[in-house]
Structure 1
Amino acid sequence: MDGNGRWARARRLPVIAGHRKGAESVQECVRAAIRQGVRYLTLYAFSSENWRRSTKEVGDLTSLLRFYLRHKINELHAQGVRLRIIGEPERFEGPLREELRRAESLTLHNTTLTLTLALSYGGRAEIVQAARRLAEDAVAGRIAVDDINESTLHNALQTADMPDPDLVIRTSGESRLSNFLLWQSAYAELIFMDVLWPDFGEAEFLEALSRFAGRQRRFGGRPA
């Protein structure tokens, strides 16, 4: 979800205004996903690299996230949305961690849509964490080295109980994954859109789904 800062600067507004408008886009896309029958939606909300931003911007982002968790979680719950967190949420301050824990607990049994927020997340770090866990299991004798394969590594990832993404959308004209779901996106369709995230709404979401529907997915095989 890229382009909040550029959206705000183009309007001579503080960056937080772009993040607020971007949060509204999240709500619109969640509603659109439910209407379209999408079962899993994962949002790259805060990367591990975002900690390099100014203290003020990080504080604004985390305060905004706390606000929406506190005031919008009941709406998500009523829509049947399950909220999940991947990444390193333990790096955030205590009040935000508590809001995240409460939101996950409240929505645990919802089944309409699984909304996953990637917070303080990095795809490389997730793979390293999974590899370290497997190495520790091998050293402890819980698994044999020969048993380490794509399947066991997949099961050691934070997304082990979720399907791999079919589609990855990147906004704001950038054409890279930026360390997002690197393992999981091996066969995902990639769509890059010029629109800044605060201007991304249901129409843009449906356009991406339409472009995805027109793709022929062969997974390395020949066309039927």
Structure 2
Amino acid sequence: MIIEKSIDAHGGAEAWNELETFSLQKESWLYLENGEVESHVFQDIEFRQKPFFEGKLSWEKDSLVHQLIFDGVRTRYWMGENEMQNEGFLANKKKDIDAAYYVLTKPFDLLGGNKNIEYQGVSSLADGREVETVQVIDGDQKDPSVDIWWYYFDKDSFLIVGYKVKTSGHFSMVYNTDWDNSTGIHFPKKRESYRVDSLGNHIYLRAKYGFKSFKVN
């Protein structure tokens, strides 16, 4: 029920299911534990959802244009004029496309696929806000390598306040701090990501993200 209300709050299942393509610009700052900037990247991102999944990420680094493309079958990567051919490298880069898409599709795909969903009641975040909490395990919950996600929903609006994820090496807590509703879909406009302990206590600011120029078709 909470996820269904959140889908409605974010624009509705019908609008999302009719969405063939969407594109945006993403700005990312990664920080070291001492607060220094590790990297600053500005990306153009495009996704096609129908009739099959395609993704394209492009950005500039060290005066070279990088392009990462998945055409539905094959992953390709260019660094300037040079196309990378290493299959292991390309497989890891496909994960980058999947991850970029994964965090932009919530809450619309939370009820699909092989997911174990568990309502965990009302929780308090580090800033004191009380939120509805739903745990989602996407895959075989007996597999220790499978990530565990906790999604936090505003008790009144049912928008996603943020989420915590347990990966194989650490916990992260991501907050949605602003929204873009220019397309009729509630996409994130600003996000902050913290490395946290298992209880959600902040250890340090890991990243900030800005999203803009959303276009849908």
Shorter-chain TM-score tier? 0.3 to 0.5
Higher RCO, 1 vs 2 (CA within 8 Å, ≥6 residues apart): 1
TM-score (norm 2): 0.33
Higher helix residue share: 1
TM-score (norm 1): 0.32
